C-alpha cells in the first residue's frame, strides 16, 4: 500500500491511497490535479525529493497551470515537512495499537484515521508549527502583492 497526502496552510488535509504498487509520476500528477481542483488561488507545493515528484508529467503542470509552483526541500529533511506530522500522528496515535488482519483492513483503518484527522484542523495546524520549515518569507514564495 502506498499513500500520498498534502496539508495546506489553511488546515486542510488531502490524501489518496494506492493498494497495489508505489505511486508513479502519473499518480502524482493526478494528485496535483486534484489539489488544483479543490484549492483556489495560488498553489505552492513544497515536496521532498522523491523520484516521482520530479517526474516530467508533474513538473510540466507548472507550465500548464500558472498558479502552481513546486519547490523542493533539501535532501533528507523530514523536520521541514509538515506532511510528516500527518504520518507520524497517524502511525503512532491513530493506528498505534491497530493490528490489521489483511491489506484491506489496513487500508480501511488508515483511510478512517485520515478522515478523522481531516476533521481536526487544530491538529493539522500543529503539524505546521511543529515543522522547522521557516514560514517567514512565505509571502515572497506565494507572490503576495506588496511583498518583494
CATH number where 10 lies: 3.30.420.10
**31-77 tens-digit pLDDT:** 999 999 999 999 999 998 899 999 999 999 999 999 999 999 888 88
Residue 147 included in any domain = no
Domain for residue 68, yes or no? yes
Residue 132 domain-assigned?
yes
115, part of any domain: yes
- The whole-number pLDDT of residue 145 equals 44
Q: What are 85-124's pLDDT values in tens digits?
A: 999 999 999 999 999 999 999 999 999 999 999 999 999 9
Domain count across the chain? 1
- Asked whether residue 148 is domain-assigned, the answer is no
User: Residue 75 is part of which domain span?
Assistant: 2-141
Q: What is the DSSP string of the chain?
A: -EEEEEE-TTS-EEEEEESSSPPPHHHHHHHHHHHHHHS-S-EEEEE---GGGG-HHHHTHHHH-TTEEEEEPPSS-GGG-HHHHHHHHIIIIITTT---SSHHHHHHHHHHHHHHHHT-HHHHHHHHHHS----TTHHHHTT-TT--
pLDDT of 17 higher than 90: yes
The answer to whether residue 59 is domain-embedded is yes
Amino acid at each position: 500500500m502506498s499513500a500520498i497526502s498534502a496539508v495546506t496552510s489553511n488546515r486542510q488535509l488531502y490524501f489518496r491511497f494506492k493498494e497495489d504498487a508505489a505511486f508513479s509520476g502519473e499518480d502524482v500528477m493526478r494528485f496535483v490535479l486534484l489539489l488544483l481542483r479543490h484549492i483556489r488561488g495560488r498553489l505552492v507545493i513544497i515536496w521532498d525529493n522523491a523520484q516521482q515528484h520530479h517526474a516530467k508529467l508533474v513538473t510540466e503542470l507548472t507550465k500548464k497551470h500558472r498558479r502552481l509552483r513546486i519547490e523542493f526541500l533539501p535532501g533528507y529533511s523530514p523536520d521541514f515537512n509538515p506532511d510528516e506530522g500527518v504520518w507520524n500522528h497517524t502511525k503512532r496515535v491513530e493506528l498505534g495499537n491497530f493490528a490489521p488482519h489483511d491489506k484491506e483492513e489496513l487500508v480501511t483503518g488508515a483511510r478512517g484515521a485520515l478522515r478523522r484527522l481531516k476533521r481536526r484542523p487544530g491538529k493539522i495546524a500543529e503539524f505546521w508549527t511543529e515543522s522547522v520549515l521557516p514560514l517567514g518569507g512565505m509571502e515572497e514564495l506565494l507572490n503576495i502583492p506588496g511583498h518583494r
